[in-house]
């Protein structure tokens, strides 16, 4: 396999660094993909570590970069932020046969599908954990110090990526994650299609299930808004609390009164997450 070329499709100066978008051919997903990256000023004189950010349902690589206000502190800390898209895309990539927003395009759930017709393209876990970092670390001034975070479906993705890949990330956090996907309507719909009806396969992609046998116990920082309309049915942070307590997995779960599921919530607490990640990424 030859290394894919990163084609720059946008670049804006931002807090002394660069906000960029790249398109490339993904061998894993068998389609063209676009991702966004914020390169802090420190990347002009050396390689920097990166926080990978996984967005939620319906989002693209741009929502976080537009709305989270993360670049300010990332520039100060010297940490890059990489935001992949939320699914494979393109006319030849199958989506939701019913055209819904919670499956298919924009809803890859950061897993590797095993069922047709999705298995050909929907391998977002492999893409996010392996193909994308390899491309970036070969072609951008970013090194292999990695951390991962995300929101909602992307919060689930961040927890699962870290839990399935011991040693690959130095830190992990999440905003309003789907904590127990196999027990949520969003997760059940997606997993039944991407993974088939056998629930044993589902457990390999569920944060609460993975906690029990985790090969490393990276401390989890999780923020959740108490006024989040998806809290009880879809997100269920208490399930994560129970799963962590059962095995002594370190968890800092902060529930914030009156905050909702929006990017206004994320923006309000992103600095705490950036500092959490930077402490691990920049440790000697």
Cα 146 to Cα 50: distance, rounded to the nearest angstrom: 5
Query: Is 4 in contact with 27 (CB distance < 8 Å)?
Result: yes
Which listed residue (152, 173, 179, 184) is catalytic?
152
Query: Judged by CB under 8 A, does residue 215 bind a second copy?
Result: no
Please pick, from the candidates 1, 2, 13, 116, the single residue that binds a second copy as defined by CB under 8 A: 13
Smallest gap from Cβ 115 to a second copy, in A, equals 37
Contact between 272 and a second copy per CB under 8 A: no
Rounded Cα gap, residues 21 and 38, in angstroms = 9
* 228 in catalytic set: yes
Q: Does residue 116 bind a second copy (CB under 8 A)?
A: no
The residue behind tokens 């942070």 is 237
Q: Which of 12, 185, 197, 252 contacts a second copy by CB under 8 A? A: 12
**What is the end-to-end Cα distance of the chain in Å, rounded?**
34
- Give residues 231-270 in contact with a second copy (rule: CB under 8 A): 256, 258-260, 262-265, 267-268
Residues 28-87 interacting with a second copy (rule: CB under 8 A): 66-67, 69, 71-72
User: Which of 178, 154, 188, 160 is closest to 232 using CA atoms?
Assistant: 178
Binding of a second copy by 25 (CB under 8 A): no
**Nearest alpha carbon to residue 19 among 1, 3, 41:** 41
- Residue from 156, 180, 261, 273 carrying the catalytic annotation: 261
CB of 196 to a second copy, least distance (A): 38
How far apart CA 25 and CA 7 sit, in angstroms, is 9
Question: What positions carry a catalytic annotation?
Answer: 152, 228, 261
């Amino acid at each position: 396999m030859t290394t894919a070329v990163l084609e720059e499709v946008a670049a804006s100066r931002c807090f002394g660094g660069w906000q960029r978008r790249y398109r490339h051919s993904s061998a894993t997903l068998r389609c063209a993909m676009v991702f966004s990256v914020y390169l802090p000023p420190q990347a002009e004189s050396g390689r920097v570590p990166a926080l990978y950010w996984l967005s939620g349902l319906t989002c693209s690589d741009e929502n976080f970069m537009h709305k989270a206000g993360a670049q300010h502190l990332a520039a100060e800390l010297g940490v890059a932020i990489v935001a992949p898209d939320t699914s494979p895309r393109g006319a030849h990539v199958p989506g939701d046969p019913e055209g819904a927003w919670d499956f298919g395009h924009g809803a890859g759930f950061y897993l590797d599908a095993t069922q047709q017709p999705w298995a050909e393209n929907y391998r977002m876990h492999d893409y996010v954990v392996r193909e994308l970092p390899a491309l970036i670390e070969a072609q951008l001034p970013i090194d292999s110090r990695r951390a991962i975070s995300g929101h909602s479906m992307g919060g689930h993705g961040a927890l699962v990526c870290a839990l399935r890949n011991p040693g690959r990330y130095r830190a992990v956090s999440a905003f309003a994650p789907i904590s127990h996907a196999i027990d949520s309507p969003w997760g059940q719909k997606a997993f039944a299609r991407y993974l088939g009806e056998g629930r044993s396969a589902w457990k390999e992609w569920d944060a609460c299930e993975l906690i029990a046998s985790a090969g490393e116990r990276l401390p989890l920082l999780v923020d959740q808004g108490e006024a989040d309309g998806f809290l009880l049915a879809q997100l269920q942070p208490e399930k994560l609390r129970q799963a962590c307590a059962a095995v002594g997995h370190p968890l800092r779960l902060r529930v914030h009164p009156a905050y909702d599921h929006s990017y206004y919530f994320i923006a309000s607490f992103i600095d705490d997450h950036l500092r959490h990640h930077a402490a691990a990424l920049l440790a000697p």
